Amino acid sequence: MEKYYLAVDIGASSGRHILGTVKDNKIILEEIYRFDNGMKQENGHLSWDVESLFVEIKEGLKQCKKLGKIPVSMGIDTWAVDFVLLDEENKILGRAAGYRDDRTTGMDEKVYEIISQNDLYKRTGIQKQIFNTIYQLMAVKEKEPDLLKRAESLLMIPDYFHFLLTGEKKQEYTNATTTQLVSPVTEDWDYELIRMLSYPEKLFRPLSMPGTKVGQFTEDIIKDVGFSCTVVLPATHDTGSAVMAVPKVPGRKELQEDILYISSGTWSLMGTELPAADCSIKSMEANFTNEGGYDFRYRYLKNIMGLWMIQSVKKELAGRGEIYSFAELCELASKESIPSLVDCNDNCFLAPESMINEVAGFCQRNNQPVPKSAGEIAAVIYNSLAVCYKETAKELQSITGKTYSSLHVVGGGSNAAYLNELTAKQTGKTVYAGPGEATAIGNLLAQMISYGEFVDLKTARESVYQSFSVKEYKPM
């Protein structure tokens, strides 16, 4: 009888339920349910509709029952940094704010009145992003203090969904590290820092590692979906799961922590794995982060704006009646010769009203040719991303003292052939592109290792290479 595992992978724009099973040491995937997601305006603020998302989670579980493929375990991963506060009756206080909401404007300065930016990085090793949980909590403290006083629990978004399924509250390690409130020395909450910031200590419970069995479905969930299974924590931060799925290429003798990767999706997360965090000033000035990974590996990486830019352009063009697939935009871009480049990490691209106008405006302000057609706009974005990858690779090599001969691109962006070609050309490294469903695969790997399908992460990564298409792009 086949043993199924279920990954519920929820991104900023969509979610999906993917069943996985292992046959002859190969992983076989089956997508059984997909649904839309997105931040919504709520009283002038951007929020997540977590109630609707949970309904979709249960609908996907019902699809398992309908297909007669009941998983032995399941786990949910989402984006990082966002959370809910729960009162004593486990009701959400306020709203599930989205990371693109502007409530954190100026909150960095409030934090730095208590601890300097340099000292904060030394303590946590986390890259400054204005939407990090540490600044979101400061926004609650400053603007809605009553909510913080009434709060009995803080759960990151996937932790909240796991709680709704099982009634058990767990705070998963990889996602917790993105809060900028975890110590890479103790690998636990930095309670001294939390006290300095006057955040309620009771909100921060013992951390749980990927592979932890949370519990079985509650009776109410069993009645609703028609079965029970064990909820197992994946790396609940989607990048943590995606990096787990970086394949081990046969014949290459690099250590596991010597890989160079890009988890390519809405964001491009580019980095390597380190056995210990690098909290140096040099690292901080280069804007690298030390996020917790599976088995206490550190995902030493930089957040790059990524395919959010091309996703926004595609949506904007569609609103004008110009309908393109991502493959078509890649094809159009490959035929253009416009030399203009933009800084993909500039805050102007975080949440503009018009990405097309913002790209054009950046070029105009910097005395570069202004892109006009869809192909030119796409070409500017793709070429700019490849140059950003090149510069980030150089920084990584300088800081780590290592030379990386190849680069793994996993996630949805691994399907962008033109961008992969540009990346190989700009970085001078062989690009291995795939698998595309890296986040869901990594989610499944944590469950499969927990159940003994694979001995460890190394053997799991070897299976990933054998199981999925990985394309190779040589530098020209």
Give the pLDDT confidence of 346-356 residue by residue, as tens digits: 989 988 999 99
> Is 313:281 a contact under the CB 8 Å cutoff?
no
As given in the structure block, the two tokens for residue 52 are 């609707």
As given in the structure block, the two tokens for residue 470 are 């990985």
Q: How far is CA 361 from CA 136, 283, 306, in A?
A: 30, 31, 19
**Domains of the chain, each with CATH number or no CATH:** 66-232 (3.30.420.40), 238-306+386-473 (3.30.420.40)
What is the model's pLDDT at position 436? 95
What is the model's pLDDT at position 432? 96
As given in the structure block, the two tokens for residue 274 are 């380190």
Q: Quick check: is 343 catalytic?
A: no
Total count of residues recorded for the chain: 476
Q: Where are the alpha helices (DSSP H) in 125-210?
A: 133-143, 145-150, 157-166, 173-176, 191-196
What is the model's pLDDT at position 12? 86
Of 82, 101, 108, 238, the catalytic one is: 238
Torsion, Cα 337 340 346 347, to 10 degrees, reads -80
What is the model's pLDDT at position 217? 98
Question: Strand 268-274 vs strand 289-292: parallel, antiparallel, or unpaired?
Answer: unpaired
pLDDT in tens, 242-285: 999 999 988 765 555 579 999 998 889 999 999 999 999 999 99
What is the model's pLDDT at position 254? 55
Q: Which residues pair with 46 in a beta bridge?
A: 41
Ranges under pLDDT 50 in the chain = none
* Nearest in space to 311 (alpha carbons), one of 267, 362, 348, 363: 267
0.85 cut: is pTM over it?
A: yes
